[in-house]
A = this chain, B = another copy of it.
Amino acid sequence: MRLNKWIMPVALLGALLVAPSAALAAPRSFPTPQTVSPQLQQLIGAEPAPYWDIHPQSAAEWKDWVSSMAERAVQGLPSLREKLGVSVSPGNIGGVPVFIFTPKDLPEANRDRVLLNLHGGGYVLGPGEAGTQEAVLMAGIGKYRVIYVDYRLAPDFPYPAAIDDAMSVYRELLETTPADKIGVFGTSTGGGMTLILALRAGAEGLPLPAALAAGTPWTDLTKTGDSYFTNEGVDNVLVSYEGWLGDAARVYAGEHDLKDPMLSPVYGDVSGFPPTLLTSGTRDLFLSNTVRMHLKLREAGVPADLIVFEGMSHAQYHMLGDAPETQFHFQELARFFNRWLK
């Protein structure tokens, strides 16, 4: 077993940065499964993210925490891009800052296709390029050009700033690229935003993207869904809704109803959605966020596919650059988009 050379897991990063504000109410300990790769075993066996229960009391406190997380997150990115042969160029689309990631060996079939990536982090984490690791991995492993949206963050910019920015990029992109050549993907909050973007596009009469990949999407911003309870203290990344996560929901939503489909897409009308791939893990606090959405899509007749990783907590498929599970995940995304994009 060896430490990942490219990206330090977010869980370990946090340990260096933030002292926990409260002890875990109900720590639950289980054997580390031998049914996953040694790299993933290392993540699964790690202590719960020590920052899970941080509760910033002001915009300044949020930004201090977010900045310290971001500082460390960006450190591994240059070597990851180099290793995967991915170039990055900053840009601006529709008035929104973006980063465009391009693999050196972009296949002919993907030259006029593009993927939009919406990053995670509870609408508060991931400023600048701090949230780009998923985009880099998709460009490098999946061999796609990826446009990463550096959307505005709460608490300075609450709902609907983040999704407004994503829509601005999508709308502008449609001027040059037909919708049937555009895929949208993201993880956690970015997975939720991927689904919300499709709802918004429908509501605005825009053509929908050709395909969506929503990784462990935050589809319900209230503590509704069975795994918020059954996987509480089992998931070692988010750990519990009662930590920073629930605070972030309220900081972003402000006075808006948390069950508004533009915040919690599991309550939206998904008829007519394009093919959608959803991903979760057996220990994921968002397992129910994921499967509730999957069931809803299938009930609506949408071709919706689901992958659940063995032993995995929230979003760990993009926390290790060299785990076989990471390779598999981004290859599955590529196969999915290859199939559905024109």
Which residues of A pack against B, CB within 8 Å?
Answer: 30-31, 33-35, 224-227, 229-231, 234, 282-283, 287-288, 291-292, 294-295, 298-299, 305-311, 328, 332
Offer 24 A-B interface pairs, CB within 8 angstroms, sorted by A: A30-B230, A31-B229, A33-B226, A33-B229, A34-B224, A35-B224, A35-B225, A35-B292, A226-B311, A230-B282, A282-B287, A282-B288, A282-B291, A288-B311, A291-B308, A291-B310, A294-B307, A295-B309, A298-B307, A298-B332, A299-B328, A305-B306, A306-B306, A306-B308
**Known contacts A292-B310, A294-B308; 15 further A-B pairs (Cβ under 8 A):** A30-B230, A33-B226, A33-B229, A33-B288, A35-B225, A35-B292, A226-B311, A282-B287, A282-B288, A282-B291, A291-B308, A298-B328, A305-B305, A306-B307, A308-B308
Which of chain B's residues have a CB closer than 8 A to the CB of A308? 287, 291, 294, 306, 308
Give chain A's interface secondary structure class: mixed
- Bound Cα distance A35, B306 (Å): 19
**Which residues of the partner chain B approach A298 to less than 8 Å between Cβ atoms?**
307, 328, 332
Closest beta carbon of chain B to A27's beta carbon, Å = 14
| B226 x A230 contact (CB < 8 A) | no
Residues on B with beta carbons closer than 8 Å to the beta carbon of A226 = 30, 33, 35, 282-283, 310-311
How far does the alpha carbon of A31 sit from the alpha carbon of B224 in the complex, in Å? 11
A35, A283, A310 — most chain B CB neighbours (10 Å) = A310
Question: Residues of B contacting A224 with CB < 8 Å?
Answer: 33-35
Query: Which chain B residues border A282 with CB–CB below 8 Å?
Result: 226-227, 230, 287-288, 291
Complex Cα–Cα for A31 and B229 (A) = 8
Closest 3 CB pairs of A and B: A33-B226, A226-B311, A291-B308
**Interface contact A288-B310, CB-CB below 8 Å:** yes
Q: How far is B287's CA from A231's CA once the two chains are assembled, in angstroms?
A: 13
Which residues on B sit within 8 Å (CB–CB) of A294? 307-308
Interchain CA distance A292-B226 in the complex, whole Å: 22
- Closest chain B CB from A280 CB (angstroms): 8
Q: In the complex, which of the residues A226, A234, A299 has the most CB atoms of chain B within 10 Å of its own CB atom? A: A226
